[in-house]
Structure formats: structure tokens, C-alpha cells
Amino acid sequence: MSNNFKYYVPTEVIFGKGTESQVAELVKKYGGSKVLIVYGGQSAVKSGLLQKIEDYLTKGGVAFAKIGGVVPNPLLSKVYEGIELAKKEQVDFLLPVGGGSVIDTAKAIAYALAEPDKDVWDLYEHTRKASGSLPLGAVLTIAAAGSETSDSSVITNENNGEKRGYNDDLCRPKFAIMNPELTMTLPDYQTQSGCADMQMHTMERYFTNQGNLEITDSMAEALMRTVMTYAKILHEDPANYEARAEVMWAGSLAHSGLTGCGNGGNDFASHRLEHEMGGMFNVTHGAGLAAIWGSWARYVYRDCLHRFVKFAVTVHGVTPGATDEETAMKGIEAQEAFYRSVGMPTCFSELGISPSDAQILEMAKRCSAAVGGSLGAAKVLYEKDFVEIYRMANH
């Protein structure tokens, strides 16, 4: 049974070698005359990419200001800093140069500039909805979050440890420049965390009890297989351009909404559980997802058995066992084996954290508050369920 759906991805994608050279004409195409370049640490500087972007903008007649220092699990304080700089410089376009954290920071700044009399954190607390956003484009340097074409952004409020997401079509980038060469220098752990994140974006849409569309399933299954295939190649050969290209494009497709068209509702419990892990322990997002997923899967698979069986057979090539439960469990074990094969964790100790019971209870409480008491499409979960899943992963 398929369900009604809306598919809206207005981002213009410019993909391939050297495509960052088109940045100025793209900014002008979408109405920008002065941009705020947003970037992360020193990698964009050391690689020379930031200077290239500045040179292309200058040559193209586009003025700019810039703000760096965005960190993984991007911080609200950096968003506020960017808002003040953007106001001072009177920018009319945001240009993140980086990965999901940088793009998400730019999205939050863009929301705030469209409604300067309101606190942007209200959006992430879900006490109001955005009514506007400054336009933005993206120069992607990390294949992972899919934020370059998605409607989502995630920000961490370091004052209270809350990591919260907000989704709205208003923030979808006008363009995304995607040159796989720009990801070549990433450490393997970051590359593999990105692959875990993009595969999880598809898995969160795959495990649902409310109906699915076979063509969407086929695309989702192919995407998951592709990510695993090329993640393993990159683990051994990080300079492989073809593999970089495959996972970069997969990351965008995974979080654009495509792999959920026609299903009856997304799950995203693993993401919500990880948000609290990231807020409390500042773990790498994709690695945190890998660490929690197996425990979530074991907790819910009987309530979504047909999907776990399909996942095992179609994605992992599992030979069906004597029972559906046996087949489903083989699929869960195969997914965890993939994580281990590329150096990703499958439990908290492998992630490098060991939360106390009090910390587990606090994460579960925060997760429950963030989702309004319950969530889940594979199985509806409540605070007591979050506690059990965290405890299962805590070894």
C-alpha cells in the first residue's frame, strides 16, 4: 500500500570536478550581491579552498564577509555570532563552505536574518514556525548529512546541552556545488561516519509499518547497498574519486526525501536518541548513530518484522532462516558487521562513552521532551523505551 506524498527538492545541484569555480555566477543567479561565507575549522583554509572561493567571488563581482570556527554538533553561540556579523555587514545571501554542521549553522543564521526581532532558538524548540529565510547556497566538502539539499538543520544549545532539529522547506539551499575532490583529505573516521549517517537517513525512512511504495523501496535498497560498497572501498583507498562521487551523491539523495516517498511515516528514533548522546557527550553524529542502531533494531524488530526481513534479504543478501525472526536478526547482525568492517562502533564502549544510569535517564527524559512524548514508525516508543535502548547499547 502506498501513501500520498509531497516531493519537493528545489536545489540546483552542480556536480563534478572543478565545479566550485561557478560559485559567483550561481550566487548572482539567485539574487545574492553580498554573501556571508560560513566555514568550519582550518581544513578549508589549509587546503586552499576558502581562498579559491574568495577569489572566485571577487572576480565575479560578489562582495563577502566570512565567519569560521563552526564545530561538529554546531553550536547556538556560533549562530548568534553569525547573525550579528551578517547584520553588521548587511549580507543578503549565505554561503556555507563545508559539511552538514556548517550548512546547518548557515541555515539557522538565514532564518534569523529573515525575522530579526525573534530568537531563532524558538524554531528548534518548536514553539513557533519560520516565516522566512535568507537564500543560501552550499559548497559541500563532507559527504554525510545531506543538508545541502534537505529541509533540515540541527543545532546544539551549549547552555543546556540540548541538540535539536528543525525542518522547513524555506531553508533548502538554492544551489549545491558538489565536487567529490573536495572530500579527498577527510580522515577515514569522518568519511565512515558520513557514510553511516547517509545510510541511516534511508533506514529511518525504510522501517515503517504504515505502507510503502515498491519503486521507492528499490531506490532505497540500492542506495544502502551502494553506500556500503563504496564505504568499504574508501576505507582501503581514500583517494578513489569514483567512490567519493558515489557516496557524495548518495548523501544528498538519502536526505532529500526521495527514499521516503510513499511510505506511511518516517521513524527517526535512532536520530533522536543520538541527538541526546551528541548533546551530552559531543560524539561524532554518524558514529553515534552506528553505536545506537543495533540496540534500537533489536528492541523494535518484532513489531516491524516484515521490513526487517526484507532489509536482511534485499540489502544484505541474507539467506532466509527457518523463521522470519531468525532472518531479521541475521540482517541486524550483517549491518553491525558492516559497521565494524569500516571502523564504526556498535555500542557505547566502542564509541568511547560510558554513561551512568543517571545520565541514561536524563538522555531519555530529554529525548521524550524533544519528541513530545513518543515517536517511531517501526514501533512507537516512549521514555521508558528510550531508557531500555540506551541501556542495551551501554556495553
At which of 182, 202, 224 does a domain end? 182
Choose one of 144, 162, 182: the last residue of a domain.
Answer: 182
75 found inside a domain: yes
Residues 244 and 328 in one domain: yes
297 & 211 share domain:
yes
Q: Examine residue 7 and state whether it is found in any structural domain, yes or no.
A: no
- Lookup result for grid cell 560498497: 229
CA distances from 173 to 244, 278, 310, 335 (A): 22, 25, 34, 32
User: Which CATH number characterizes residue 40's domain?
Assistant: 3.40.50.1970
Residue 107 is assigned to a structural domain of this protein? yes
Is residue 285 predicted with pLDDT exceeding 70?
yes
Residue 72 lies in a domain: yes
Q: Which of 153, 182, 211 is the last residue of a domain?
A: 182
- 87 and 203 co-located in one domain: no
* Mean pLDDT over the full length of the chain: 96
pLDDT recorded at residue 3: 86
What is the domain extent for residue 245?
186-393
169 and 24 housed in the same domain = yes
Count CA within 13 A, CB hemisphere, residue 221. 18
Answer whether residue 5 is part of any domain: no
Same domain flag for 156 and 48? yes
Whether 311 and 299 map to the same domain: the answer is yes
Task: State how many domains the chain has.
Answer: 2
pTM here is 0.93
Give how far Cα 177 sits from Cα of 34, 106, 208, 249, 320, Å. 18, 15, 33, 11, 42
Arithmetic mean of pLDDT, 190-210: 96
Same domain, 170 and 198: no
46 band by pLDDT with thresholds 50, 70 and 90? confident
Does 274 lie in the same domain as 154?
Answer: no
Res. 148 pLDDT band, cuts 50 70 90:
very high
228 closest CA partner among 271, 198, 184 = 198
Place of cell 557527550: 281
- Residue 1 pLDDT > 60: no
